[in-house]
Structure 1
Amino acid sequence: MGLILSACNREIVAAGYLTQLGIHHHSNENQFNLGSDLMEPFCSFVDVWVREQNFNALSPDVKFGLIDL
C-alpha cells in the first residue's frame, strides 16, 4: 500500500491540495491524511489479492504484482 499511497499523495499535491487535511484521518502525526482517506476503499482489494496469492516471501515478482494491481 505504501507505493500506491505515495503515488496518490503525489497526485494530490500536483492538483494543489494539502495532504495533511483529511476527512476521517486527522492525526497530527500523519502528514498524508487525505491520501489515507482516498486509499481506504482500495485496501480491501489489496487484502483480497494478497490472500489469494500463494507466496512465502516478498519477492520482486510479488512487488510487481502489487504495482500492477
Structure 2
Amino acid sequence: MIVEVKRVDNQGRIVLPKKWRERWGDEIILIELEDRIEILPRRKPNFSQFFDIIEADIEEDIEKELLEELI
C-alpha cells in the first residue's frame, strides 16, 4: 500500500501522482461517506469478453446502477 498526503488547492483540486494516473487512468469516482471520501478509478466494463457467450439487454444507465451497488 502506498500512502501520500496531498493538499487541496484554492480551487478544490488535488494532483494524483503520474504513476497512479498511468496505472489507473485519468477518470475517477468520488464517493462521500459519513467519515471519509473514497477515490476509485473509473473503468468502463469490457463487454467484448462476453460476446457470443450470453444474450442480455443492457440498460443505458448501467454505470449508475453499478455505482449505487458500491455504496
Compute the TM-score of the two structures, normalised by the length of structure 2.
0.25
Which of the two has higher C-alpha Rg?
Answer: 2
